[in-house]
Homo-oligomer: A and B are copies of this chain.
């Protein structure tokens, strides 16, 4: 995050630098939690699942600590407009990260159960989707760190593709259930995992909107497709 200028107060700079470091650490931790969650799902690694579940506490603590540090810096330092905007997006980022952590935990709570071979093969069918979302998370955190509009836009668009994959998974699983009703409880479990993965994708999209907001100074939540199209065109034909 090199987009922060110097301030007259050395302590202020130090406080901001501290928050920046903590945010990056939290991002790294959540990325690891989610990638471990996907691995436990595919390899049915119960020990790793337990580790992720225990690790969610750390994610939660980091959110609370960074939140406090942000409020403190606002109260003490009266940040200027652009610093304040950064602090506001950090507050929203850590809320999204915390929820991604929750999704990782939810996946691991499912993944640590005893599985039948049928369940294992169902869960393996989520591999492509899981890997795509893992890449999204990595990319959007990079985009946030560099406040890179272009990279954020790529992640934003990816969410639609994930949603299509998810619909496909749902339809497949519905067919399985109708063909073999005994498989219903197993399939509902796999559907829950698919939904958790899908949600992480939406949260990555939310994070990409934070980058838009920081760079453009405009709130991009809830905007229509036309506004996003315009951003896309700007990317293709930079002024």
Taking Cβ atoms with an 8 Å cutoff, the residues of A that contact B are 57, 60-61, 63-64, 67-68, 71, 74-75, 78-81, 84-85, 88, 91-92, 95, 170, 174, 177-178, 181-182, 184-185, 188, 219, 221-222
> Which residues of B have CB within 8 Å of A88?
71
Given A60-B222, A71-B88, A84-B75, also A178-B184 (CB < 8 A):
yes
Q: Are B177 and A184 in contact (CB under 8 A)?
A: yes
CA distance A95 to B68 in the complex (A): 18
> Which residues of B have CB within 8 Å of A188?
170, 174
Q: Give the 3 A-B CB pairs with smallest separation, nearest first.
A: A60-B222, A181-B181, A78-B78
Can you name 16 A-B residue pairings with CB atoms under 8 Å? A57-B222, A61-B222, A64-B219, A64-B221, A64-B222, A67-B219, A71-B84, A74-B74, A74-B84, A75-B80, A75-B81, A177-B177, A177-B184, A178-B181, A178-B182, A184-B184
CA distance A80 to B78 in the complex (A): 10
By DSSP majority rule, is chain A's interface helix, strand, loop, or mixed?
helix
CA distance A72 to B67 in the complex (A): 19
> Which residues of B have CB within 8 Å of A219?
64, 67-68
CA distance A181 to B187 in the complex (A): 13
CA distance A74 to B57 in the complex (A): 31
Please name the residue on chain B nearest to A83 by beta carbon: B75
CA distance A63 to B177 in the complex (A): 40
Smallest CB–CB gap between A102 and chain B, Å?
10
Q: Are A85 and B68 in contact (CB under 8 A)?
A: no
Smallest CB–CB gap between A114 and chain B, Å?
18
Given A60-B222, A75-B81, list of 17 further CB < 8 A pairs?
Answer: A63-B221, A64-B219, A64-B221, A67-B219, A68-B219, A71-B85, A71-B88, A74-B74, A78-B78, A92-B95, A170-B188, A174-B184, A174-B185, A177-B184, A178-B181, A178-B182, A178-B184
